[in-house]
Structure 1
């Protein structure tokens, strides 16, 4: 008799536990809950990306200062004046009379044109 009572109680407890666990899982899988979880993840990812961008910017400023010191470059006298960026390669202007990539000559064999 004691055995039957024990197993009946154990089975009932397992059933209650399983039912509660399934109900909890079903609540987590509702559309509203999934939308809230996705929004939380998106906000968390946004914060991580912002922190990463700030770290990168800080590293860039630090490295630029190191390179400026090593190369003997000085900061502008007036901090309100814009800093002119120096590029390693200047963009070349197309020669007069030459066709740039924007104005290609007419090609009668071009099948992509509307006829």
Structure 2
């Protein structure tokens, strides 16, 4: 008699346990629950990406400081930038002010100081 009671109780407990487990799994598979899980995973991924970006930024700043120290550069944020060089503009001005000279083989092009200047008639 006790054996039957034991097995009846064990079977009822197993049934309750299995039913509870199946109901929980069904609730996890509802659309609302799946959407909430996806949102939570997206938020976690965003936090991990933010932490990664902050780590990269810290590493960049540290490496920049190491390189600045190794090269002997002093970073002064209030210092003004150096003036722009205008070497190319000065060279172009020299070509524009140069006196054109007719080349012996091609009368449409001008030649002076070892370089040809542009003549729009050469393209045709």
Q: Same fold (TM over 0.5)?
A: yes
Q: C-alpha root-mean-square deviation of aligned residues, in Å?
A: 1.9
Correspondence 1:21-100 to 2 at 5 A: 21-78=21-78
Q: Which residue number corresponds to residue 11 of structure 1?
A: 11
* 1:112 equivalent in structure 2: none
Question: Which of the pair has the greater relative contact order for Cα pairs under 8 Å at 6+ separation?
Answer: 2
> Going by fraction, where is strand more abundant, 1 or 2?
2
Shift of 1:75: 1.2
Number of aligned residue pairs: 82
Moved beyond 4 Å, runs of 4+: none
Unaligned runs of 5+ in 1: 83-96, 98-115
Alignment partners' CA distance in 1, 2:65 and 2:71: 10
SS of residue in 2 equivalent to 1:21: helix
Structure with the greater alpha carbon radius of gyration: 2
SS of structure 1 residue aligned to 2:74: coil
Tell me the CA shift for residue 77 of structure 1. Answer: 4.8
Deviations 1:53-87 (A, max 9, x none): 001100100110110111122213517x68xxxxx
1:76-104: CA deviation from partner (whole Å, max 9, x where unpaired): 3517x68xxxxxxxxxxxxxx9xxxxxxx
